[in-house]
Amino acid sequence: MNHREPPEDRIGRAALKPSAVVLRARRALGTMAPSLFLREWMHHPAAIGAIWPSSSRLARRMAACVPRSGDGLVIELGAGTGAVTQALLDRGIRAERLVVVERSATFVRHLRRSFPSVTVLHGDALRLATLLPPAAKVDAIVSSLPLRSLPQTDARAIVAQWQQVLRLGGCAVQFTYDLRARLRHKPAGLRQHTSHLVWANVPPARIFILEA
């Protein structure tokens, strides 16, 4: 007797394959990230601004500030080893909407291997406006840049571009290890909407949400 597999069983098993691939990628990302991050920090401590990657809790809280709906771009600045990138994808931000801007060539190679469907640009956030297409519609900017450790002129120039590229009603999300309730470099034209403390991070961090 020929026992044929019901179509729904085949579909059910096939649906498990992507999640298995995602789980393997997450495991690989988790094991590689700390050592890669530490090596890069030893070479460029001021540009990295921390000695450990962002925790999954911090990454998820940042991603949760980005609306799922919309057809504009979501720009991530300073992705490092990809903790926030993964959290944005897990939240439901489509890969084709996500554009990552990273200055470190080491991190760029790592991110392109880990997230082949995401656009990863090797560039400086100081030139964000020139990296994007002139008519690009930007719904959100998610920044892990160490603004406190950058020269003040660079930090101000970076955040000034957020107001320039964000659409009206868009948001910018920035985390900092300065736990005070006021962002040091708030760009003109953006209103501080709220902030959240994340204690389950090393060190603890504060997330700021700004609205255009």
**What are the boundaries of each domain within the chain?**
34-211
Whole-number Å distance between alpha carbons of 209 and 159: 13
Q: Which sign does the torsion angle of CA 136, 79, 28, 196 carry?
A: negative
Helices then strands, counting H and E runs in the chain, come out as: 7, 7
If we measure between CA atoms, which residue out of 116, 112, 113, 87 comes closest to residue 198? Answer: 87
Tokens of 118: 């995401």
Residues 97-141: pLDDT tens digits? 999 999 999 999 999 999 999 999 999 999 999 999 888 999 999
Whole-number Å distance between alpha carbons of 211 and 177: 21
Yes or no: say if 183 and 151 are a contact pair by the CB < 8 Å rule: no
Give how far Cα 68 sits from Cα of 63, 92, 170, Å.
9, 6, 12
Beta bridge partners of 101: 77, 121
pTM of the model: 0.75
Residues 35-77: pLDDT tens digits? 654 555 455 554 544 545 568 899 999 999 999 989 999 999 9
In the CATH hierarchy, which top-level class contains the domain 34-211?
A: alpha beta
